[in-house]
């Protein structure tokens, strides 16, 4: 059975005190109403809060992830944070290739592939994001675009670490817009991604790969999305900033999947 994963991407939100309050609230709600043991919760706060969130979430089995890491190993790269730094702080996950990084920070498929390799070298699970924009969807090129992104990300992965990759399908037109993909649209793309992965790494590998959906996922649409056979969880932006909403989403996984 594949891992079910719910990851919260806090992006560049919350002051230190607000972040403390939010993680306390999430931990408190989880202790009152725990999620199924097969659901892994990951919180991805801004860099400066990683240590605090890691310490405060230890008791409640929440994993911690970063939102980015450097494509370089170490050295004179002012402002960058390396995979080795994260792993030395026991940060086990990292979002890589988010569309906002592609859009505002010029991340290309090549840079993203290099970041995935850095993460794997340090045994950090990459949450690799892919997804088409609105023009690409409306012109019917969404499969082609996602295929290119996925193939670039998976090219040249170290065979013994490839199993660590987690893919998040995040249609750009759905991110932060309130316009969620329909369960059918999500399922269709997730099944397509799984096929691509099977082609490269084999059926068994693809069957074990967790593919998350991201883009305006909230407590009222999560259950329908998570019911889809190839949707293994979610990467949640806006709704991860409110403990009650995030916890409701965490309880939206079907029992029988
Ligand atoms: C995201 O940015 O990863 C995301 C899914 O955002 P939102 O849930 O706010 O659409």
Give residue-wise pLDDT tens across range 97-153: 999 999 999 999 999 999 999 999 999 999 999 999 999 999 999 999 999 999 999
- Pairwise CA distance, residues 4 & 131, whole Å: 20
| Closest residue by CA, ligand 1 atom 4 | 237
* Cα 151 to middle of ligand 1, angstroms: 23
Q: Is 98 a catalytic residue?
A: yes
Is residue 234 one of the residues assigned to a domain?
yes
Instruction: Return the structure tokens found at 123.
Output: 């045994």
* pLDDT tens-place string over residues 189-205: 999 999 999 999 999 99
* Beta-carbon contacts of residue 198 (< 8 Å; ≥ 6 apart): 205, 206, 207
Owning domain of residue 65: 4-250
pTM for the full predicted model = 0.97
**For residue 189, which phi and psi values (nearest 5 degrees)?**
-75, -40
Q: Whose CA is nearest to atom 7 of ligand 1?
A: 237
Instruction: Name the domain count of the chain.
Output: 1
Whether residue 257 lies inside any domain: the answer is no
Q: Are 121 and 92 in contact (CB under 8 A)?
A: no
What is the rounded distance in angstroms from the CA atom of residue 36 to the CA atom of residue 11?
26
Domain CATH for 102:
3.20.20.70
- The answer to whether position 256 is within a domain reads no
Expressed in angstroms and rounded, the spacing between residue 130 Cα and the centre of ligand 1 is: 12
pLDDT at site 103: 97
CA 15 – ligand 1 centroid, Å: 19
Q: Which residue of the set 122, 132, 136, 170 is catalytic?
A: 170
Residue 126 domain-assigned?
yes
């Amino acid at each position: 059975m594949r891992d079910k994963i719910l990851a919260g991407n806090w992006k560049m939100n919350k002051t230190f005190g607000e972040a403390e309050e939010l993680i306390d609230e999430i931990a408190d709600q989880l202790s009152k109403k725990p999620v199924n043991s097969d659901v892994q919760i990951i919180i991805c706060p801004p860099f400066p809060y990683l240590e605090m969130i890691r310490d405060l979430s230890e008791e409640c089995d929440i994993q911690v992830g970063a939102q980015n890491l450097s494509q370089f190993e170490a050295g004179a790269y002012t402002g960058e944070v390396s995979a080795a730094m994260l792993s030395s702080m026991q940060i086990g996950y990292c979002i890589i290739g988010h569309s906002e990084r592609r859009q505002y920070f010029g991340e290309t498929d090549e840079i993203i592939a290099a970041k995935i390799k850095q993460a794997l070298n340090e045994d950090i699970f990459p949450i690799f994001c892919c997804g088409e924009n609105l023009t690409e969807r409306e012109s019917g090129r969404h499969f082609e675009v996602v295929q290119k992104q996925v193939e670039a990300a998976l090219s040249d992965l170290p065979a013994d670490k490839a199993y660590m990759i987690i893919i998040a399908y995040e249609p750009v037109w759905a991110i932060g817009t309130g316009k969620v993909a329909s369960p059918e649209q999500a399922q269709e793309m997730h099944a397509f991604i799984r096929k691509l992965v099977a082609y490269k790494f084999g059926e068994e590998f693809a069957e074990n790969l967790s593919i998350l959906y991201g883009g305006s996922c909230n407590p009222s649409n999560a259950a329908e999305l998570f019911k889809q056979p190839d949707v293994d969880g979610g990467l949640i932006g806006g709704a991860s900033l409110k403990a009650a909403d995030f916890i409701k989403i965490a309880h939206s996984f079907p029992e029988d999947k």
